[in-house]
């Protein structure tokens, strides 16, 4: 089965008119989860990657599994106030205001090659903020990897305009 077949579409969630792409079915199915993680690992095996960064919260699920298989460390990129100790952060725009993402200040060293992972890219605001955060401390984003891309919402194009390559396991066009 394809990755896409494990993803359920929930109409009108969390708001009317939204088609929510629910990865729960993918996570609950051993074959689906293994297929997704293996596809990511296969793409990056042999690549020069020092760290994997995952965006809260579903990026943690895929990111830690990929980091483990690649034999590299994992960096959580979290919403403001969730990490202890010294952090660096970046504010970014949402449809309805602003938000902030943070990571430990010493998580990335100058020149580290970082793979960024999340479950879904829509408008790309969160992913663009994560790229800015990684670059801001001297890291290089090797690629941004997503389980799902909603290309009509422009997130992948937004990241590419920032000079960040993107990869996705499946996409839902026109929705």
Q: Which residues of the chain have pLDDT under 50?
A: none
Could you count the other beta carbons within 10 Å of the beta carbon of residue 10? 12
Beta strands (DSSP E) in the chain are 8-11, 19-22, 51-55, 73-79, 87-94, 97-104, 113-121, 140-149, 166-171
Find all residues with CB under 8 Å of 96, minimum gap 6, and list them: none
Q: Around Cβ 132, how many Cβ atoms within 10 Å? A: 16
Q: Assess whether 31 carries a catalytic annotation.
A: no
For residue 175, the model assigns a pLDDT of 57
> What pLDDT sits at residue 112?
98
Distance CA 123, CA 46 (A): 30
- Catalytic residue, chosen from 43, 56, 58, 132, is 58
pTM score, whole prediction: 0.96
Closest residue by Cα to residue 124 from 166, 159, 89, 148: 159
104 CB burial (10 A radius; 0-12, 13-18, 19+)? middle
Choose, from 16, 95, 110, 173, the residue flagged as catalytic. Answer: 95
Specify whether 175 is catalytic.
Answer: no
Domains of the chain: 47-171 (3.40.50.2020)
């Amino acid at each position: 089965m394809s990755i896409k077949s494990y993803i359920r579409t929930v109409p009108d969630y969390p708001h009317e008119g939204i088609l929510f792409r629910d990865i729960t079915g993918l996570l609950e199915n051993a074959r689906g989860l293994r297929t997704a993680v293996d596809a990511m690992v296969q793409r990056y095996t042999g690549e020069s990657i020092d760290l994997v960064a995952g965006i809260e919260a579903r990026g943690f699920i895929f990111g830690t599994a990929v980091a483990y298989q690649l034999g590299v460390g994992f960096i959580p990129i979290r919403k403001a106030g969730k990490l202890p100790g010294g952090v660096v952060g970046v504010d970014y725009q949402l449809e309805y205001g602003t938000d902030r993402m943070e990571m430990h200040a010493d998580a990335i060293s100058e020149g580290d090659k970082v793979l960024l992972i999340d479950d879904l890219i829509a408008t790309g605001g969160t992913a663009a903020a994560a790229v800015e955060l990684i670059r801001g401390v001297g890291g290089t984003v090797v690629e941004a990897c997503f389980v799902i891309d909603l290309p009509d919402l422009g997130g992948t194009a937004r990241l590419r305009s920032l000079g960040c390559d993107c990869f996705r396991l499946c996409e839902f066009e026109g929705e």
